[in-house]
Chain A
Amino acid sequence: MEDSRPGDFAPRSYMRNLKLPFCPGCGLYLLSDTFLRAVNELGHKNLDGFCFVSGIGCASWIPSPYYLADSVHTLHGRSIPVATGIKLFRPDLDVVVFGGDGDIVGIGMSHFIHAARRNTDILVIMGNNMTYGMTGGQVAPTTPLNSITATTPYGSFEHPVDAVALAIAAGAEFSARWTTAQPRELQASLRKGLQLSGFRFIEVVTQCPVEYGRKAGLGGAAQILQYFRERAIPVEESKKLSADELDSRIVVGEFFGRHRPTLVEKVSGISRRSMEIGRTH
């Protein structure tokens, strides 16, 4: 795939004069940078055509207030409904949701499923650091089985959610997963996510060395990235393995759902239909 030439891309031109607040080694720096590179690649000189919506958690801080754009920083778990309300009245805007795994598939999971079901015209980008980083590294719905976290001192005993498969099953048009060890592939999927219509979901498995890596015994940022490289398995290859074998792997790649009318398209159809019925009665 093609890279942006370094001279063409200045992330600061898309940002307010503020520094992202993440811990040293955090993968969210790379996620933000890669997203802006994808935006740049698509020819957007600024973020005027975007509206960013986020919830509560580290990943939700990526756009708010750091991007020089409209950003709505909502409650924990509620970014997707707010994004829905915005998109219905501003279909011309690219509405992009940033959130963490706790935000999107923990407290906000119901909205995630229903937005996919409705084929709501938004792109949801989930930084999955496998923990509740902001609150000190508690177990999350995405934490790998048997991990030591702040609230699972004897190892986590719940099976983690596969958000990418869930999105497709619920009706998403496009769903992708990469880790921060695959920035080029991630950039390509982000670009695709921005270009497609309907409900689009991108999960970025990202390192949280301070609150997760340390407790779970994965080590610092470099070691976690190495762990991602070892565990990542492309979709095609993953089909050769059994479900049990895949438990310890991170399946990466792109998944495509059915193309269906989007929420915005259906709502404008209802509007026309109500007017027609109004005339005949």
Chain B
Amino acid sequence: MALSSSVQQPAEVHLLSGNEACVEGALASGCQFFAGYPISPANEISELLSERLPKAGGVFMQMEDELASIGAVMGASWAGRKAMTATSGPGFSLMQETIGWAFMTETPCVVVDVQRAGPGTGQATKSAQGDVMQARWGTHGDYAAVVLSPNSVQEMYESTVRAFNLSEKYRTPVVVLADETIAHVRERVSSPGPASSQVLSRRAPQRGDTDFFGSREVAPMPAVGGGFNVAVTASTHDERGTRFTQSGGVHRRMVEALNAKIYNHLSDIVETECHNVEDCDVGVVSYGCTSRSAYEAVEMAEAAGLKVGHVRLKTLWPFPEEEVARLAGHVRRIVVPEMNLGQIAGEVQKVASQKVVKVNKIGGGELIAPEEILEAMERGR
């Protein structure tokens, strides 16, 4: 793994919105290209990058739609640059086919989805967490999604840096699954944060290398124009990029390798923040903006004498099964608050034998209050 440079930003404290912090994280990561299409509530990311990227020697493009946006990102990535896009639910839906292309061709890129209320046009300016499963299974076929879930403006910065690092290291698309709340709230940010002290870049091939795909340990990635005559295709291909659209064996070998390169490195990819998971009677699993209420609810419950274990998911996918299973091993009940109708609760239920208690709220961008989570924890006390 090439460690190209340290983050250039001085460790200063800023007052930023989440979308602004995302831009700072992208620039600190060496992002050179952004292509996007206007959509609420992600617009500040593109507006700010349209100003900042050219000054940083990069290029900003507003494309004709989301299909073109992520397509141009693929092109820039194969030209050897770090590239990203940002969108919200409807645009994220349009990008799904290309996200599958990126997975199959092992193209590093970062996609920021600032979630809003769906389905359909839904409520364009209202916060939600309804894209959890779209981020996991949005494109067709068997693939390993890597999805990060920031819960603060500081983490919006760090998640963006981490998304670039993971995408470069594992040559795979990485999604920052933000939400309207985190995107628009203003908080103190110190940059660089502790999680973003280094910037990683894809491994370049050596002269004479011919195998650029399908390694369980991540193949080196040439850029076009680099003299490697690389053949890139999302049709089933072998290690050299030659199409094999009939062979079951080649398809199995390659798709299994692409999944293995992610699942063999869970300890590097999966991050959680765990609180009292070894000594608790009640559990909470939270993520994103909802986790802010969960932290407060845990404090309130502890003040009331409950022993609470809390797992906050910083990585949503691959799902942190091990950490959630450890919590499930100690508690009578697990409460999962989320601003959808129970998308992560289902994943928690898969690893928990006790009944998972769902706390859900959708619509109007209304957040789940700490009291609502507390009430669910205390029920059946």
- Mutual binders A and B: yes
Given A73-B233, A89-B32: A78 in contact with B79 (beta carbons within 8 A): no
Taken residue by residue from 76 to 104, chain A's Cβ proximity to chain B (1 for < 8 Å, 0 otherwise) reads as 01101111111111101100000000000
- On whether the beta carbons of B224 and A75 are closer than 8 Å, the reply is no
- On whether the beta carbons of A84 and B75 are closer than 8 Å, the reply is yes
In the complex, what residues of B have CB within 8 A of residue A270's CB? Answer: 54
B57 (CB) vs chain A CBs: closest residue: A271
In the complex, what residues of A have CB within 8 A of residue B226's CB? Answer: 70
Interface of B is mostly: mixed
- On whether the beta carbons of B59 and A64 are closer than 8 Å, the reply is no
B59 (CB) vs chain A CBs: closest residue: A88
Which of under 10, 10 to 19, 20 to 34, or 35 or more describes the interface residues of A? 35 or more
Say if the beta carbon of B241 comes within 8 Å of chain A: yes
- On whether the beta carbons of A85 and B231 are closer than 8 Å, the reply is no
- On whether the beta carbons of B225 and A64 are closer than 8 Å, the reply is no
Taken residue by residue from 109 to 141, chain A's Cβ proximity to chain B (1 for < 8 Å, 0 otherwise) reads as 011001000000000000000000000000000
- On whether the beta carbons of B98 and A48 are closer than 8 Å, the reply is no
> From residue A247, how far is it (CB to closest CB) to chain B in Å?
30
A175→B236 CA distance, assembly (Å): 34
CB < 8 Å neighbour of A65 from B77, B83, B228, B231 = B231
A196→B57 CA distance, assembly (Å): 27
In the complex, what residues of B have CB within 8 A of residue A274's CB? Answer: 51, 54-55
Say if the beta carbon of B351 comes within 8 Å of chain A: no
> From residue B349, how far is it (CB to closest CB) to chain A in Å?
35
A81→B225 CA distance, assembly (Å): 18
- On whether the beta carbons of B234 and A75 are closer than 8 Å, the reply is yes
Interface centre among B98, B224, B228, by most A CB within 10 Å? B224
In the complex, what residues of A have CB within 8 A of residue B55's CB? Answer: 274-275, 278
- On whether the beta carbons of A81 and B79 are closer than 8 Å, the reply is no
Given A78-B68, A88-B76: A51 in contact with B225 (beta carbons within 8 A): yes
Say if the beta carbon of A74 comes within 8 Å of chain B: yes
Say if the beta carbon of B142 comes within 8 Å of chain A: no
Say if the beta carbon of A218 comes within 8 Å of chain B: no
- A51-B224, A70-B225, A77-B67 are known contacts; what are 8 more A-B pairs with Cβ within 8 Å? A65-B243, A70-B226, A72-B75, A75-B234, A80-B68, A81-B68, A81-B74, A85-B72
Contact residues of B with A, CB < 8 Å?
32-33, 35, 51, 54-55, 57, 59, 61, 63-65, 67-69, 71-81, 83, 97-98, 101, 223-235, 241-243
Contact residues of A with B, CB < 8 Å?
18, 48, 51, 53, 64-65, 68-75, 77-78, 80-90, 92-93, 110-111, 114, 267, 270-271, 273-275, 278
Which 4 pairs from chain A and chain B are nearest by CB?
Answer: A85-B75, A81-B71, A65-B231, A274-B54
Q: What are 6 A-to-B residue pairs whose CB atoms are below 8 Å?
A: A18-B242, A68-B229, A70-B226, A70-B232, A81-B35, A88-B33
